[in-house]
Amino acid sequence: MSLGSSTATEAAADILGLREATWTPQRLHDSERIWLETNCYIDVWAELLPALGHPAEAALGFTVRQDFEGDHFTFFKFPLEDLEALFGLAVQELAIYDTIESHTLGQLRRGRPVLIEVDAHWLPDAVPTYRKGHVKTTVAAVALDPANRHFGYFHNTGYHELSGEDFDGLFRKPPTPDHLFPYVEFVKRDGAALSGPALVARSIELLRGHLAHRPKANPIGAWRAALPAHLDRLAARGMDYFHLYAFNLPRQLGANFEMLGTYLDWLGGSEEAATAARRIAEGAKAVQFQLARMANRRRFDPARLDLAPLEADYDLIMTALTTRFA
């Protein structure tokens, strides 16, 4: 397999004309947020949607569906059908059979961003993984110049650019036969985007559908019940395992509910529920700090982790939203 080498004759493509030096992170990455970063897919869209002219907040109603999955909290992602219903964006898998560069250029020339799963080892913004570790992540390509080995993309909390050896590493130049093609999506922008009252009404309609599929039991209570077994595993593993655990449990829980609070602020009329959602975000961060101290000291005590306030806030939120919308 090759992420491949494009020919030097392929012209560059740049659909938004952005520059890393002048880019300001979008509102969902404001420096005052509790969880500045969420997960790679949410973070990419949090930057890309406003760059395309759409309010990302309108699409956050799906966060009411987050559940405890036994070993992690739902890795929450914008539902693609919601993006199409609200913003007219049709996200489809991009069939890769040539080089990544050639396929990406082909879509960028049609004005379509391309979302690519890549190795963060080659992303200068991916501290501390850059040139040290290997972690799968998603970037949104909006500019590509193979001849000059230059790549412009959204990742984490902003717009970034890379070139030279990082370009070669990201696109595996020279090609090697021992790697699979990555998963790639492209964004068709042909549909009609809603705005004003129509956008709010459609967003509420989608929220009602998500509420109908919310967890049947309090997911934070389910996490509390599973914590003793989780702590046993943390006690038997090193700090690398702890960081993975922290990302997939307290961080996903806290970031999800901060996004729900943001959505309710955008919607208006649910101030108490929005405040409770932010308390869950803050509480999850406090739990992460407590777990980090336990991991460093190698002493794990579930009695020191009080999740009851977070459970109560979850019930408050769901009661308020189902009363108002369901």
Model confidence pLDDT, tens digit, residues 95-138: 999 999 999 999 999 999 999 999 999 999 999 899 999 999 99
Same domain, 129 and 231: no
Residue of 15, 38, 278, 62 lying closest to 157 (CA atoms): 38
Instruction: Give the long-range contacts of residues 177-180, CB within 8 A, separation 24 or more.
Output: 177/1, 177/2, 178/1, 179/1, 179/2, 179/3, 180/1
Please provide residue 205's backbone torsions phi and psi, each rounded to the nearest 5 degrees.
Answer: -60, -45
Number of H helices, E strands in the chain: 10, 7
161 with 268, same domain: the answer is no
pLDDT at 3 over 80: no
| pLDDT at residue number 175 | 67
> In whole angstroms, what is the distance from residue 255 CA to residue 242 CA?
18
| Residue pair 148/11 in contact by the 8 Å Cβ criterion | no
Reduced to 3 states, what is the DSSP secondary structure of residue 13? strand
Q: What are phi and psi of 124, to 5 degrees?
A: -60, -25
Bridge partners (DSSP) listed for residue 136: 119
pLDDT in tens, 198-242: 999 999 999 999 999 999 999 999 999 999 999 999 999 999 999
CB 302 within 8 A of CB 234: no
Q: Please count the structural domains in the chain.
A: 2
- Residue where one domain finishes, among candidates 173, 188, 203: 188
Looking at the fold, whether 242 and 146 belong to one and the same domain comes out as no
Indicate whether 323 pLDDT > 70: yes
pLDDT tens readout for residues 60-96: 999 999 999 999 999 999 999 999 999 999 999 999 9
Burial 62-78 (b: 16+ CB within 10 A, else e): bbbbbbbeeebbbbbeb
Q: What's the chain's Rg over C-alpha atoms?
A: 21
Mean pLDDT calculated for residue range 272-299: 97
End-to-end, the C-alpha distance of the chain in Å comes to 50
287 and 184, same domain (yes or no): no
Q: Is residue 166 part of a domain?
A: yes
Dihedral angle computed from the Cα positions of residues 105, 92, 76 and 130, in that order, rounded to the nearest 10 degrees: -20
* Full residue range of the structural domain in which residue 167 is found: 13-188
Q: Which of 166, 188, 210 is the last residue of a domain?
A: 188
In terms of domains, do 160 and 232 share one?
A: no
Please check whether residues 235 and 177 belong to one and the same domain: no
Question: Do 48 and 178 have their domain in common?
Answer: yes
Instruction: Give long-range contacts, CB 8 A cutoff, 24+ apart: 313-316.
Output: 313/276, 313/277, 313/279, 313/280, 313/283, 314/218, 314/219, 314/220, 314/276, 314/280, 315/218, 316/272, 316/273, 316/276
| 208 inside domain | no
Residue 312 in domain: yes
Show Cβ contacts of residue 271 under 8 Å, excluding neighbours closer than 6 positions: 264
Residue 5 has what pLDDT? 42
**pLDDT at res. 81:** 98
- For residues 96 and 245, membership in a common domain is answered with no
pLDDT band at 2 (very low <50, low <70, confident <90, very high): very low
Q: How far is CA 275 from CA 36, 234, 289, in A?
A: 18, 32, 21
Considering the domain boundaries, does residue 211 fall inside one? Answer: no
83 and 133 together in one domain = yes
For the stretch 19-34, pLDDT in tens is 999 999 999 999 999 9
Residues 274 and 315 in one domain: yes
Better-scored residue on pLDDT, 177 or 274: 274
Q: What is the mean pLDDT of the chain?
A: 94
| Residue 198 forms part of a structural domain | no
6 pLDDT band, cuts 50/70/90, is very low
Same domain for 122 and 74, yes or no, is yes
Q: Is residue 262 part of a domain?
A: yes
User: Could you tell me which residues are beta bridge partners of residue 150?
Assistant: 145, 163
Can you give the pLDDT at residue 203?
Answer: 98
With respect to residue 5, please indicate whether it lies within any of the assigned structural domains.
Answer: no
Both 146 and 222 in a single domain?
no
Q: What is the pTM of this model?
A: 0.94
Over residues 245-267, mean pLDDT: 98
In this structure, is residue 287 part of a structural domain?
Answer: yes
Residue 22 CB partners (closer than 8 Å, separation 6+): none
Q: At 274, is the pLDDT very low, low, confident or very high (cuts 50, 70, 90)? A: very high
Q: What token pair was written down for 259?
A: 């996004």
